[in-house]
Structure 1
Amino acid sequence: MAVTSRLTDDGATRIIAVEGDFGPQQYKAFRDSLMADSGPRRYVVDLSQTCSLDSSALALLLWLREQAVVQGAAVILRGASSEIRHILELSQFERLFTLE
């Protein structure tokens, strides 16, 4: 269970990868990874190694979207398994985020 974050070389994209269960235990690491930015144009949340997510993870993604809207940035949720994607679709996140 880890959250890793990196900024692309051009500084335009912040990539946040969540490994394992995405829930309250990742809250601080996820938010801390975003607070260092001066405002990339795009956030990519890599869910390819995410096993599960709960309502606190959904709330955290909504918080990220709010921050991105203020910055004029896009948020992309990438690599979700079929189970995770199903949860995102049930929550109608495809209306708020780009799902890749």
Structure 2
Amino acid sequence: MAITSTVSPDGNQVTIYIQGRFDFSSHQEFRSAYEKLAQTPTHYRVDLQGTSYLDSSALGMLLLLRDYAGGEQSSIQIVNCAPDVKKILLISNFEQLFDIQ
């Protein structure tokens, strides 16, 4: 499992890429992907194209990202979900909290 991030040239958006399993073992790496940036972006994008699995702790980590990004005023997209991963997000009603594409 690997988590990487890229920041847009203007610094306003960070994209976090998650490969493999997204579970409790990735907690620290996931938080570092957005907390240790030089400037705080206004838009967050979580790319799950390479994510094969996520569990309840991953859902919790997404909620922590939402709180960090400003709660209800946050701008977070979750993109490129595999069907099984998207199903978990929808069952958990995360489409009410995040822009899931």
After superposing on structure 2, the runs of 4+ consecutive aligned residues of structure 1 that deviate more than 3 Å are none
Determine the structure 1 residue equivalent to 2:77: 76
In 1, the alpha carbon distance for the partners of 2:67 and 2:74 equals 10
In 1, the alpha carbon distance for the partners of 2:74 and 2:93 equals 20
**Is there any run of 5+ residues in structure 1 with no aligned partner, and where?**
none
Determine the structure 2 residue equivalent to 1:33: 33
- Residue identity (%): 35
Determine the structure 2 residue equivalent to 1:22: 22
Shift, 1:47, TM fit? 0.3
Shift, 1:98, TM fit? 0.0
- The root-mean-square deviation of aligned C-alpha atoms, in Å, is 1.1
Shift, 1:63, TM fit? 0.4
Shift, 1:73, TM fit? 3.6
Q: How many residues align?
A: 99
1:40/1:73 contact within 8 Å kept: no
Letter in 2 for 1:81: A
Determine the structure 1 residue equivalent to 2:66: 65
SS in 2 for 1:10: coil
Determine the structure 1 residue equivalent to 2:91: 90
**Is there any run of 5+ residues in structure 2 with no aligned partner, and where?**
none
Letter in 1 for 2:6: R
In the TM superposition, what whole-angstrom CA distance separates every residue of 1:11-69 from its partner, at most 9, and x where no partner exists? Answer: 11000000000001111110011112332110000001000000110000000011112
Shift, 1:96, TM fit? 0.2
